[in-house]
């Protein structure tokens, strides 16, 4: 069975929410949510592949951002998972592949949420839900709840160190090969075609942009995503992607980006200068009944 067949087999009994994406549109809408007027349903626009993503300017108001900047030093050496680009605060659902979620993932959920609140002064859930509700087409924006009653993590923090290689190329749909961990969430949302989101908390002096490539999941050669290629074929994937047109997505500190990371190849450029690139993010999807938007990390 091919990887794509395994994926289809795994979820064939479940309602398929998103249509196939055939191509990148190169369209990233830019909006402000401070305005009171009704905003379009950007979640559907991304889901239907009419646009690639949306940048919500100043989702973190300037005042709050200044307060975060004062506290960012406190992040050094705290609860980190080391990575090639720097480190991550909080273990992701994908990162708990083939472990027992009840012991490896959920016990950390409250601690991480309290950490973001106490150390950075960000109530991630409240902030994300209040902003995204305005572009959700009246969908309720919530964290899914696991069978044991625990909520999934709302977000994890990614710290990219200047001079390192940046975040390697990947595509969200490849992570569905971690089927056992996604079994529960697959009942709520379609984890295939998930969106990626992140708040840019600190912008590096040079570089650090998200790069999207002119390659979608549908056209991805299977050997580049099968059998943990994310680890085993890192170089080959980068070389392959170099043949495709790409675009840098420019953001400022305080902006929130939601994009079709499940179906569009992307990476983060290396950065230079004295400042770390810091993002707070996760994934999301329109719920299976179409009435909600669920997010997790």
Q: Should residue 296 be labelled a site residue for ligand AKG when binding is judged by CB under 6 A?
A: no
**Minimum CB–partner distance for residue 127 and ligand AKG (Å):** 16
CA-wise closest residue to 171 among 240, 220, 209, 243: 220
One of 191, 261, 270, 284 touching ligand AKG (CB under 6 A): 261
Residue at token pair 């990162």? 95
Q: Does 268 bind ligand AKG (CB under 6 A)?
A: yes
Is residue 202 a contact point for ligand AKG (CB under 6 A)? Answer: no
Total residues belonging to the chain: 297
215 exposure class (CB count in 10 Å sphere: 0-12, 13-18, 19+):
buried
> In the bound complex, what is the minimum distance in angstroms from residue 13's beta carbon to ligand AKG?
27
- Is 158 a binding residue for ligand AKG by CB under 6 A? The answer is yes
3-class SS of residue 86: strand
Instruction: Specify the stretch interacting with ligand AKG by CB under 6 A; choose among 15-23, 28-36, 123-131, 261-269.
Output: 261-269
Biggest alpha carbon–alpha carbon distance for the chain: 53
From residue 123, how far is each of 113, 117, 157, 200, 268 by CA, in Å?
7, 5, 13, 15, 25
Among 143, 279, 287, 294, binds ligand AKG (CB under 6 A): 279
Residues that contact ligand AKG, how many (by CB under 6 A): 10
The piece of 22-30, 125-133, 229-237, 260-268 that touches ligand AKG (CB under 6 A) is 260-268
295 binds ligand AKG (CB under 6 A): no
- Alpha-carbon distance 191 to 99, whole Å? 18
Task: Report the interface residues with ligand AKG, using CB under 6 A.
Answer: 158, 167, 172, 196, 198, 261, 266, 268, 279, 281
């Amino acid at each position: 069975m091919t990887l794509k067949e395994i994926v289809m087999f795994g979820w064939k009994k479940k309602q398929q929410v998103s249509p196939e994406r055939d191509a990148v549109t190169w369209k990233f809408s830019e909006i402000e949510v401070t305005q009171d007027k009704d905003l379009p349903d950007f979640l559907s626009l991304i889901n239907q592949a009419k646009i690639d993503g949306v940048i919500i300017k100043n989702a973190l108001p300037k005042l709050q951002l200044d307060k975060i900047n004062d506290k960012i030093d406190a992040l050094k050496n705290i609860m980190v998972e080391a990575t090639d680009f720097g480190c991550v605060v909080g273990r992701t659902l994908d990162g708990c592949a083939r472990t027992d979620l009840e012991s490896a993932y959920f016990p950390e959920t409250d601690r991480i949420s309290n950490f973001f609140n106490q150390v950075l002064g960000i109530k991630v859930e409240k902030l994300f839900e209040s902003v995204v509700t305005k572009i959700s087409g009246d969908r309720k924006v919530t964290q899914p709840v696991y069978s044991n009653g625990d909520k999934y993590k709302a977000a994890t923090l990614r710290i990219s160190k200047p001079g390192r290689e940046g975040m390697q190329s990947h595509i969200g749909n490849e992570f569905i090969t971690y089927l056992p961990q996604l079994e529960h969430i697959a009942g709520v949302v379609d984890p295939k075609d998930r969106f990626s989101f992140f708040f840019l908390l600190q912008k590096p002096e040079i570089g650090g942009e998200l790069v999207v490539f002119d390659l979608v999941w549908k056209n991805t050669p299977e050997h580049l995503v099968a059998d943990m290629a994310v680890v085993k074929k890192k170089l080959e994937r980068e070389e392959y992607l170099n043949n495709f047109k790409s675009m840098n997505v420019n953001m400022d500190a305080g902006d929130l980006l939601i994009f079709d990371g499940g179906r569009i190849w992307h990476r983060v450029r290396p950065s230079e200068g004295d400042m770390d690139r810091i993002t707070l993010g996760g994934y999301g999807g329109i719920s299976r009944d179409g009435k909600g938007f669920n997010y997790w990390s």
